[in-house]
Chain A
Amino acid sequence: MQNKTLLPFLVFILIVVFLAIGLNLKPGEVPSPFIGKPAPKFSLETLGDKNLRITRKEMLGKVWMLNVWASWCAACRDEHSLLNKISQDGVVEILGLNYKDTRFDANKWLDQFGNPYSVIAFDENGDVGIDYGVYGVPETFVIDKNGMVRLKHIGPLTRNDISQSIIPLVKSLEKEKI
């Protein structure tokens, strides 16, 4: 008798547990296969100067952040003031990847909202974006001194993301040896 009432109850609890796990998942955030792996190579013209190129190699030896953005991306505006802030505070060097944009629009956008980037790579047709597995702008990668991807954030960064994950991670990565 005991068993008969207990079993459905246990099954019910099991279903509730699965439901709770399911509700807390973020299906929009696909786990990146790059974590702990070398950041894909790239060599692109900079946004400011067509004759200059920026490559992944130049960033080796420092901790840096790659921020994928575009002038047509509304969500990029949400995080932009935060990027300005961490750039001003000297938290980490931010390299911009201007994704599927035009130089004109991108520059106008930066004039309007400010430029937190040390360099901006101009990825006109989105090829580097594909190499980095970008599927929703904005996306942010934190890359260590050895050129390994250590974190990928999809969607706009929030104040919490910065204070609770980006800053502590950058600090610990700065201490790592090459």
Chain B
Amino acid sequence: MCRVLVLWVYFWSVAVIGQTEIVQFDNSQQQKLYQKVIKELRCLVCQNQNLADSNADLAQDLRNKSQEMIKSGKSYTEIIDYMTERYGDFVLYRPRVRPATLMLWFSPFVFLTGIIFIAVRRIRSPAPPADDRFTNEEMEKAKNLLRDKPET
């Protein structure tokens, strides 16, 4: 138990230290904006991390860039526009809806609608009448079985 606790404290502290990055902003609004921006932007080097999580050099540079822009009073959209201009839609975790991203946004709904449609049709269509009559062969077999009653 004690060991587990020590381990837990160890990993927890490492995780906390790992994340510490002191960024000074003039007000909490800018701080919030910064957090929002670096969570939305993808690090292009390690593609499954956002800027907030990534330790890559490029992520650091882009975080600095975001900081600079926020400090100079740029809005969320301006920063997002700046990044998309340079790195394309891929830099956003939620790419904007435009012709090139239509498939990405709407194909799941198309599939879902298709599946629901098929499912509903299947459930609604009456089951085919079960063929419960025996064939002549089966009847014959049954009769034979009944005839040869086991001796009691």
Contact = CB atoms under 8 A, between A and B. Distances in A.
A30 interface: yes
B119 to A, nearest CB: 13
A130 interface: yes
B88 A132 contact: no
Nearest to A135: B44
Give chain B's interface secondary structure class: helix
Nearest to A132: B86
Assign chain B's interface to a size class.
Answer: 10 to 19
A31 interface: yes
B65 interface: yes
Given A130-B62, A135-B44, A135-B45, A33 B57 contact: no
Interface in A119-144: 126, 129-133, 135-136
Which of B47, B84, B88 has most A Cβ within 10 Å? Answer: B88
Nearest to B100: A31
Given A130-B62, A136-B45, A30 B57 contact: no
Centre residue among A100, A130, A136 by max chain B CB count within 10 A? A130
Interface string A15-55: 00000000000011011110000001000000000000000
Interface in B78-99: 84-91
Contacts of B61: 126, 129-130
Contacts of B87: 30, 33, 133, 135
Contacts of A27: 47
Nearest to B56: A135
A27 B46 CA distance: 11
A130 B58 CA distance: 9
A133 B47 CA distance: 15
Give the interface size class of chain A. Answer: 10 to 19
B60 to A, nearest CB: 10
Contact of B88 (A28, A30, A136): A30
Contacts of B91: 30
B88 A33 contact: yes
B45 A31 contact: no
B65 A33 contact: no
B62 A30 contact: no
Given A30-B44, A100-B57, A133 B88 contact: yes
Interface of A: 27-28, 30-33, 40, 100, 126, 129-133, 135-136
Interface of B: 44-45, 47, 57-58, 61-62, 65, 84-91
29 contacts: A30-B44, A30-B87, A30-B90, A30-B91, A31-B88, A32-B88, A33-B84, A33-B86, A33-B87, A33-B88, A33-B89, A40-B86, A100-B57, A126-B61, A129-B61, A130-B61, A130-B62, A130-B65, A130-B86, A131-B86, A132-B86, A133-B86, A133-B87, A133-B88, A135-B44, A135-B45, A135-B58, A135-B87, A136-B44
Given A27-B47, A31-B88, 17 more contacts: A28-B47, A30-B88, A30-B91, A31-B90, A33-B84, A33-B85, A40-B86, A100-B57, A130-B61, A130-B62, A131-B86, A132-B86, A133-B87, A135-B44, A135-B45, A135-B58, A135-B87
